[in-house]
Amino acid sequence: MKKIAIIGAGSMAEAFISGILENDLIDRKNIWVTNNANQQRLNNLEERYGVQSTYDSNAFFEGADIVMLAMKPKDAATAIQSIRDYLTKQMLIVSVLAGVSMNTIETLAEKPLSLARSMPNTSAAVGKSATAIAVNERVSTEQLEITKKLFGTVGLARFVEEEQLDAVTGLSGSGPAYIYYLIEAMEKSAVEVGLEKQMASELIVQTLLGAAEMVKNSSKSSEELRREVTSPGGTTEAGIRVLEENNVQQAFISCIKAATAQSKKMGAALSSQLETADQPS
């Protein structure tokens, strides 16, 4: 990787900048970032990370072998059309644009491109994202390796087919919110049973971290691990019984299916909108 040019300067762009530098993937002087018009935000990133920023497109794209599309999806059509003359077949175009297909990006760019489309989640901010990536047939073996390293700087990365990205969105893309929702419920219950809020929060967080590590490191399934701590007539069994009576497991399954369906719906609508943007009426 010689130079990465990041279009968009929001939290996801910052997560990648931080991850790239922490993992020594590329020198900070070779990380360039730009946005639509927020100069103060660019100044903040320059001061915090020592990266380069500019609104000069010639300087921004010169020598870049990776271009990351990290603007808001609603701004994608205008942004991609405005930079298409600078995009080349030799560049790896990395997209973190939710709902924007690789075909749409190529349509807007009016040329074939080497594309990697991803679905990270907000945990990228702490280097713990669960990211799924799809690439097209023009991505070379070298570019594939670069993609692995790039997304590895913000967490776990796995490759999927593009049509699977909606399911990933419903599962891990929106997943942190489901966990936060669970934590909210546990915090409320802790107060109701008489625990001090701060201590309860610490116990909840550590419990979740411990359970996640158990699932990650054990050869046993999550169901087996659950059964091992559910003694007949015990406290865990009493709690699990209430969850089953309220169909909590099925509610989570339905939740992920609904999010997946919504992702497909939004992606289709957004792709249609972007592909027809600025077309003569």
Mean pLDDT along residues 149-176: 95
Mark which of 144, 165, 186 sits at the end of a domain: 165
From the number of C-beta atoms within 10 Å of its C-beta (0-12, 13-18, 19+), residue 68 rates as buried
Q: How confident is the model at residue 281 (pLDDT cuts 50, 70, 90)?
A: very low
Q: In this structure, which amino acid lies at residue 80? A: I
Quick one: tokens of 14?
A: 């910052």
Report how far residue 185's alpha carbon sits from residue 179's, in angstroms, rounded to the nearest whole number: 10
pTM: 0.88
Residue 278 has pLDDT above 80, yes or no: no
In the chain, how many domains are there? 2
Yes or no: say if 90 and 65 are a contact pair by the CB < 8 Å rule: yes
Residues 153 and 214 in one domain: no
Residues 181 and 101 in one domain: no
Residues 28 and 133 in one domain: yes
Quick one: tokens of 115?
A: 């594309």
Residues 161 and 179 in one domain: no
Residue 269 lies in a domain: no
Residues 110 and 190 in one domain: no
Residues 53 and 90 in one domain: yes
Domain of residue 227, residue span? 174-246
Residues 108 and 140 in one domain: yes
Residue 273 lies in a domain: no
State pLDDT tens for residues 230-248.
Answer: 999 999 999 999 999 999 9
Mean pLDDT along residues 204-216: 96
Q: What is the pLDDT at residue 266?
A: 83
**Residue 200 is part of a domain; what is its CATH number?**
1.10.3730.10
Residues 8 and 58 in one domain: yes
